[in-house]
Structure formats: structure tokens, C-alpha cells
Amino acid sequence: MAINLGDSEQEAAWRAEVRQFIETEGKPLFAKRSEEGENALFGRLGAIKEWRERVAAKGWVAPSWPKKYGGAEMSVAEQFIMNEEFAEQGVPSNVGGFGVMMIGPTIIEHGTEEQKQEHLSKILRGEVMWCQGYSEPGAGSDLASLQTRAVRDGDDYVVNGQKIWTTGAQFADWMYMLVRTDPDAPKHRGITYLLVDMKTPGVTVRPLTTLAGTQTFNEVFFEDVRVPVRNRIGEENRGWYVGTTTLDFERSSIGSAVGVKKSLEGLIRQAKEGGEASFTRNPRVRLELVDRWVEAEVARMLSYRVVSMQLAGKIPNHEASMCKMYSSELQQRIANLSMHMYGMNGNVRNRASMGYMQAVSSTIAGGTSEIQKGIIATRGLGLPRG
């Protein structure tokens, strides 16, 4: 039996086209940034913005969207190769953010013609930023227990409650959110999906500072916020099913295994460049580098499995959970190793310590490791629910 993980002729040509684009349009932007040094955060933000514009001009900003809505309508294989190359060459992927990745496809699938007209082209042009209002202080893994209340009043819903961990809410123009419209129905059946203009009176955003010292997410408070009924996606009380479509788009994002391998390659390069008294001779570091290297290969194979299922028209389920759990936990082990290599220098604010602190969230965001294990136990191993 021959197993061929290589590209077909057509795929190789597509990979070459993507690589060429990154060489000419992407690398010069980000090379400039590394010359500016590690603290050039604003340089990086500027480069990301310009990179996004270049990807949009190429017509690749919404790889999976149908052409009739301005997307590139790429096949699963083409998307995978593009993400793989972006990660491999060290330029940001998914530059369209929540708009392109999550709410756009949801509007395409469940929205009215009017909603499509209003939102899709603005998302493609990057004119609006979106945030995701799902989690609440008492509803994360068990999202269906959310309590933010929306009560119908004429042509509006009146929303009261609180969301938390809302990434980018302080910069967002719009939020897609889940609210409770029927508190007496079984919990999955009393939820509605709304689009909210963040400038509506009664919306208050309060940034949260993470342990890495960054303000990436927020608390968002709603006090008598009036949301027009025409901003509802799908039917009232059927929002859970619309909301899980959005989550499927989040979970099917591909390419993270390559990113994990890239950060490991950076560490290996650093170990080699360290000189005579360097880490390359430290037995603990040597062994750890080898272990992580093998694990990075395993992560790559797990992601290939997910993609090959998608290519065969199947929907990955516990396989996607295995991939997410393994890659995110590996990311933490690599961040740990990086701290060992830095030794005492890991105590100051630098690339290693920032990466270490940021890696903590990778096993929480998009479904915690325990939740993924629950899925693997029941749907993969066939064990009864715990």
C-alpha cells in the first residue's frame, strides 16, 4: 500500500502561486517589521492591515465564500494549502477576522436578502469589525445556559444582560450575539441570534487585562438596548441552531498545526545559534526538542486527517476535537520549553514569556480540552456520557 501525502500536479501549481504571492507581497512587509525589533507592535499592526488589503485585492480574503457573494470559492484542498503556506512563510492567515470567518458564512446560510445586502460587501472590504457575543459569566462550555434576556417590544427587542471574554469588542462596530427570548422553553429552544450595532445606546464595553498584560477581550454590558427585529438571523427561539453553524466555521479553521511547527523551528534555530555553551549541549533541552519535534509531526498528521475527511465530503467530528486538543496542548509544551531555554531571562517581558502567557488560553478558546475530551470519549470511543 502506498500512502501519498504529496500534492497533485494541480495542487503543486496552486501552492507555487500562493508562495509567489507571499514572497512578493507579504514577506517584504513583515521583514521590515522584524528589522524594527520586537517591540514594534504598531509596526506589526500596520503591516497586518496592509497585508489584509493586499490579500483582499487578490480576491482571497474570503476563501470559502461562494463567488456570487464576492468570495474566492476555493476547494477545501486549496484553502488548506493556502493556510499551510501562510503559516509556513510566517504571514498572518484568516485576515478577514470574525467577519469573514464566522458571521459572513452564517449570514450567507441563514440571513435574509436584505441582511446579505447590508453586511456582506462591508465585511469583504474590511469596513466593519465584528465581535462574538456568546460567552457569559455563567455560560461558557455550557453555552446553552446563557441568560442575557431579549424581550420583544413592537419592532424591537430590548436586551439586558452581560457578555464576557468578547475578543476585540472595544474595536468592533457590530456584534453577533445569542440572547434568551423564551426563559420557559428547554434551554436550547429559547435562544435567538441577533446582530447588534455596538453604537446603540445602552451598550457598554469594559476591556479586561490578561495575565500577558494585553487587552484582547472585554466584558460587554447591555442595558435596555433596542435591537430592531430585522436584525434577527433566522427565527425567534431557533438561534441555537444558527449559532452552532457559526461555531462549526470556527472549529473547522485549519492550519494551526503548521503554526505550531513554525514556532518550534524558531526554537531549534535559536538553540543552534546559541554557541558553544548553548542549549544544544544541554541534555534536557535536547531531549525536549526531539520530543516536541515528533509531536509536531503527529499534530500535522492529525490535521491532514481532518482535511482528508473534508475532501471526501465527510464532516469531521471527534477527529477535529483530537486535532484542536493536541495542537493547543502542544503549543503550551513548546512555550514551556521556550521558557526553559531562556532560563532566568524568561522572567522578563520578552518573546518567550509573552508566548508562554498567551499559550495558556489556547486550551480554553474554541472549547476547552476537557470539552474536546468529552467529545472524543463519547463520539470517538463510544463511551456513555459522563
- Catalytic amino acids? 250
Q: Is 141 in the site for ligand FAD (CB under 6 A)?
A: yes
Dig out the grid coordinates for 285 from the structure. 533541552
Least Cβ distance, residue 316 to ligand FAD (angstroms): 20
In the complex with ligand FAD, which residue's Cβ is closer, 283 or 386?
386
Choose the stretch contacting ligand FAD; rule: CB under 6 A; options: 10-18, 134-142, 260-268, 315-323: 134-142
Q: Is 370 in the site for ligand FAD (CB under 6 A)?
A: yes
369 within 8 A of 329, measured Cβ to Cβ: yes
Residue (of 37, 29, 32, 30) closest to 350 by Cα position: 37
d(CA 194, CA 177) in angstroms, rounded, equals: 5
In the complex with ligand FAD, which residue's Cβ is closer, 140 or 316?
140
Query: Which of 66, 365, 379, 383 forms a contact with ligand FAD (CB under 6 A)?
Result: 365
Query: Which of 43, 46, 92, 140 forms a contact with ligand FAD (CB under 6 A)?
Result: 140
Dig out the grid coordinates for 221 from the structure. 454590558
Least Cβ distance, residue 146 to ligand FAD (angstroms): 9
Least Cβ distance, residue 166 to ligand FAD (angstroms): 5
In the complex with ligand FAD, which residue's Cβ is closer, 245 or 368?
368
Beta strands at 174-180 and 130-133: parallel, antiparallel or unpaired: parallel
Residues with Cβ within 8 Å of 175's Cβ and at least 6 positions away in sequence, in order, are: 130, 131, 132, 133, 163, 166, 169, 195, 196, 198, 220
d(CA 265, CA 69) in angstroms, rounded, equals: 38
Least Cβ distance, residue 169 to ligand FAD (angstroms): 8
Q: Is 217 in the site for ligand FAD (CB under 6 A)?
A: yes
Exposure of 151 in the CB half-sphere (CA atoms within 13 A): 6
Exposure of 355 in the CB half-sphere (CA atoms within 13 A): 24
Q: Is 374 in the site for ligand FAD (CB under 6 A)?
A: yes
d(CA 103, CA 80) in angstroms, rounded, equals: 20
Query: Which of 130, 134, 174, 240 forms a contact with ligand FAD (CB under 6 A)?
Result: 134
d(CA 232, CA 239) in angstroms, rounded, equals: 9
Q: Is 166 in the site for ligand FAD (CB under 6 A)?
A: yes
Dig out the grid coordinates for 310 from the structure. 473534508
Query: Which of 160, 167, 252, 270 forms a contact with ligand FAD (CB under 6 A)?
Result: 167
In the complex with ligand FAD, which residue's Cβ is closer, 46 or 207?
207
In the complex with ligand FAD, which residue's Cβ is closer, 79 or 362?
362
Q: Is 361 in the site for ligand FAD (CB under 6 A)?
A: yes
d(CA 53, CA 61) in angstroms, rounded, equals: 9
Footprint on this chain of ligand FAD (rule: CB under 6 A)? 131-135, 140-141, 165-167, 217, 361, 364-365, 368, 370-371, 374
